[in-house]
Amino acid sequence: MDYCKYHPLDGATYFCRQCNIHQCDRCVNDEKNKRHTLHCFVCDAVVESLGSANTVTPFWRRLKEAFKYPLNSSAMSLIVITSIMSVVAVLMPFLFVISIVMYLFAAGAMLKYSFTCLERTAMGEMKAPDVMEAYQGGIKLLLQLILITIVMSVFAGLAAYYVGVTLGGILGVIAVVSFPAVLIRFAQTESMFEALNPLAAIALMAAIGLPYGLLIVFMLIMMTSVGVLHEWINTILPAGAFLVQSIISSYYMVVMFHLMGYMLFQYQQELGYSARSDEDDEQPERSDLERMTAKMDVLLKEGDYEQLVGLYYQAFKQFPNEANFFDRFFDLLYVCKKSALMADYGLTYLEFLLRKKRFDKLTATFKQIMLLVPDYLPDSPAMRVQLATFLRQQGDLKLAVKMLNGMHKLYPEFADLPAAYTLLAECLNDLPNMQTQAEKCRQMAMQLARRAEAKKVELEMPQQAKRITEENPANSAAPKGRRGPPPAAPSGLTLALVPLDIHSADKN
């Protein structure tokens, strides 16, 4: 038995020749394509189906389902009708020929149906077939089966007569034991000669092994139970006993043939064919998201980080709201200590958390990133202000200052610079010996606010400003009429800045 490389407890259902690995249903790419092929997640080659051989539940664990198998209106009506027919046939011995025909017809129909059940189950169909698909050729099948039984009995009898009672007895036992194998062969080939080929029967029994013996034991128990049930019912309801017994026998027959078929299905690999259970097909088709997650698992287990990172970035684009991907990638980088990748991904993840309003995780995540990338600062002014606000609330003033320091140089176009510097001033104010710096920041905030105001006016009156410039080209240096970057000197932004190293300021 082969197991999935990535799920060592699950039976394999596919095989990739290129990678020489076995996979389960989850670990192959089942994306729809024109050729209806499935592909390997790792090398993208077409994978081979192994059928259900490795994943089938053994028949002895499936007895409950097996007994439910005939419980549908179609199969049950056939069982009841054929039982009534055989009872009527027995009750009217005066019309000998008609009664024989009726009996044969009933038994033949039941047998044909049971054989169909065996065939279908062996091919992976776990629901009882429709009766109408199985009503032809019943009597012929019955006669063939009787003939097979006679041939086998005669063979054992002849052996007993000519060779000796002991050998004959042994052959008789072998005949009884191999009867289910002969039945299975007959159902599969529909040829009496194939069925009676002792080598074929032995090959079948050898391929299945011990469970075949289990099946025989199980058959004997069921046959005995019919007798016991008959005794019971006979004492309670003598008139209906024959009918009830007939119904129960037919019911058991369908169960038995289903089990025999199931045994073939279970040992399909040993018997040289491959089939999938229709119960597998009932599973809903995987979504792109589930498929992507499965591929990530495979790539991770293969250690193919390059492809994995590419796939994650693809996932972020395709599923921008899927927290699972964002969280998992962050955890992966954190656990694997991939600092370069983390420096890249940090902002993406922080922005995702902000977008999803997971504020509680924001500063904690930032500090986690800092453990990998000690001098990490997100390259986004809005994110910096956001983080600084939370850090200040949590009393982590130094980190908040670090976050905001020098922002007017880094992001001169950031609209909320005045607010950022007001926040910085507030943080510094609460730090010891930082009041002077705080005051400077406050002034800077005011200057920035004024500049922003001036810019706003400029934007609101572009036409007017243009006209002034055109009329007085000599005045073009005036800050109000100027477009493009503002002059450095007049706005006074060269003001002394907060020292970058807060720790040295602390020591003073």
Binding residues for Zn ion (CB under 5 A): 4, 6-7, 16, 18-19, 24, 26-27, 40, 42-43, 45
Q: Which is nearer to Zn ion, 306 or 413 (CB)?
A: 306
Maximum separation of any 2 CA atoms in the chain, in Å: 135
CA distances from 244 to 68, 191, 257, 494 (A): 18, 33, 20, 104
Shortest distance, position 133 Cβ to Zn ion, whole Å: 36
b/e per residue 274-286 (b: at least 16 CB within 10 A):
ebbbeeeeeeeeb
User: What radius of gyration do the chain's Cα atoms show?
Assistant: 41
**Quick one: which H or E segment has residue 16?**
strand 14-16
d(CA 343, CA 266): 52
Shortest distance, position 55 Cβ to Zn ion, whole Å: 11
Tokens 């994978």, located at residue: 47
**Tokens coding 396:** 């982590």
Q: Which is nearer to Zn ion, 29 or 277 (CB)?
A: 29
Question: What's the N-to-C CA distance of the chain in angstroms?
Answer: 74
Q: Which is nearer to Zn ion, 18 or 324 (CB)?
A: 18
What torsion, rounded to 10 degrees, do the Cα atoms 243, 249, 255, 261 define? -130
Shortest distance, position 54 Cβ to Zn ion, whole Å: 11
The DSSP line for 456-482 is HHHHH-HHHHHHHHHH-GGGTTSGGG-
Q: Which is nearer to Zn ion, 7 or 442 (CB)?
A: 7
Q: Which is nearer to Zn ion, 22 or 402 (CB)?
A: 22
Q: Which residue is nearest to Zn ion (CB)?
A: 40
d(CA 341, CA 319): 20
SS3 92: coil
Amino acid, single-letter form, for residue 372: L
Shortest distance, position 36 Cβ to Zn ion, whole Å: 18
Beta-carbon contacts of residue 44 (< 8 Å; ≥ 6 apart): 29
CA distances from 60 to 201, 210, 253, 257, 480 (A): 22, 12, 17, 14, 91
Shortest distance, position 19 Cβ to Zn ion, whole Å: 3
Could you tell me where the DSSP H helices lie in 92-137? 96-122
d(CA 123, CA 156): 33
Q: Which is nearer to Zn ion, 23 or 368 (CB)?
A: 23
Q: Which is nearer to Zn ion, 294 or 315 (CB)?
A: 294
Q: Which is nearer to Zn ion, 40 or 79 (CB)?
A: 40
Amino acid, single-letter form, for residue 335: V
d(CA 479, CA 156): 118
Q: Which is nearer to Zn ion, 38 or 247 (CB)?
A: 38
d(CA 347, CA 240): 80
Q: Which is nearer to Zn ion, 27 or 131 (CB)?
A: 27
What torsion, rounded to 10 degrees, do the Cα atoms 497, 500, 504, 508 define? 20
Q: Which is nearer to Zn ion, 42 or 215 (CB)?
A: 42
Q: Which is nearer to Zn ion, 7 or 230 (CB)?
A: 7
* Backbone dihedral region for residue 117 (phi beyond 0: left; psi -120 to 50: alpha; all else: beta): alpha
